[in-house]
Amino acid sequence: MSVNMHRIRTSWHKNRREWLTFLAFVAPNFIIFAVFTYWPIIYSFYLSFVRWNFLTPNKQVVGIRNYARLMQDDNFWEVLGNTLVYAVSVVLIAQGLAFLLALLLNRRVKGQPFFRTVSFTPHITTTAAAALVFVLLLDPKLGPLSHVYNFFSIQGPRFLASTTLAIWAIIIVGIWKEIGFASVFFLAGLQGINQEYYEAARVDGARPFAILRHITVPLMAPVIFFLMVSGFIQATKVFDLVAIMTEGGPVYPSSSTYAYHLYQLAFRNFRAGYASAFAIIFFIGVMTVTLFQLRYSKRWVDYEE
C-alpha cells in the first residue's frame, strides 16, 4: 500500500499541471452526474426501506417489508410481463423490419434521399403526437379504419378498450417509432462494409441470400448488438405512449408498463417507499439483462473487420 501511495505522490508532483487540467475538465461532469444521477439512486435505495408519503417529514423504517410486499403484488407481475412483452416485441420486430428497410434504402434508386428522409420521420415525430394520431386511427367508429370495417360490414375491434389488445396497440406504435431510428444505424453500417467482400463472393458464385447470411449479417453484428442493448433499455422505460393512449387501462393495469406503474405508485398514490423498491428492482433487472448481453456478445460479435 505504501509503495502505491508513493507512486501516486511521485506522479502527482511530476505531472501536476496535467492532473489539474484533467480535474478541471472532469469535475463539472462528475458533479452533475453525482447530483442528478448517483445521489438519486442512493437516496431511492434508502427510501426503499422506509414508509413515506412525500407529505410528512417523518419516515418510518420498515426494513425489507416493501420488497416482500412487492413480490406478492399481482400488479407488479402483470406490469413486469407487459413491459417484457413490449420490449421484446419492439426490439425484435422493429429491428428486423429496420434491417430490411436499410437493405432497400442502400440500393441506388431514383428518389433515394426522399425515401431515406421519409423512413426517419417516425423517429423525429414527437411521441405525444404519434400516440394521439394512432388513438384516432385505431378508433373503430371515428378513425379511417372505420371505412374499411363498414365496407366489409364487420364490427371493428376496439383496440384501446380491450384488456388483451390495448398493450398490442401500444406495441404497434412503439415498433413504428423504432423502425426509423434503427434503420439509420443499419444503413450507416451497410455503407461501411468493404465492397471487396461482395465482389469476391460474387466471383466465387455466391447467391444473394448466401452473401447476406455469411457476409452482411456477421459484419453488421456490432450494429445489431448496439441496437439490441440500447433498444431494450429504451423500451423498458416506455411511459408516454401508455400515459396518452390508455393510462394503463382499460382495466388497470392491463396495458400498464413498469415506468407508468412506478409513476402511479409514487405521484398518485404517494407511496414513496414502495415506489422506490419498485424502482430499485427495475434498475437491478435492467442492469442484469444488459450485463448478460455484454457477457455473451463476444460469442457472436466481432469488432475486427
Could you report the per-residue pLDDT of 182-218, keeping only the tens digit for each?
999 999 899 888 888 888 888 888 888 898 888 898 8
Has residue 99 got a pLDDT over 90?
A: yes
Nearest-angstrom CA–CA distance, 154 and 244? 28
Whole-angstrom distance, CA of residue 276 vs CA of residue 279: 5
Q: Please work out, in degrees rounded to the nearest 5, the angle formed at the alpha carbon of residue 301 by the alpha carbons of 295 and 305.
A: 140
Q: What is the pTM of this model?
A: 0.86
Contact yes or no for 73/247 (Cβ under 8 A): no
Question: Comparing 294 with 259, which gets the higher pLDDT?
Answer: 259
Q: Which residues pair with 51 in a beta bridge?
A: 60
pLDDT at 261 over 70: yes
CA distance 117 to 253: 37
The stretch 78-91 carries a mean pLDDT of 95
Look up residue 196 and give its amino acid. Answer: E
Structural domains of the chain, ranges and CATH numbers in brackets: 2-47 (no CATH), 72-299 (1.10.3720.10)
pLDDT reading at 3 higher than 60: no
* pLDDT the model gives residue 107: 83
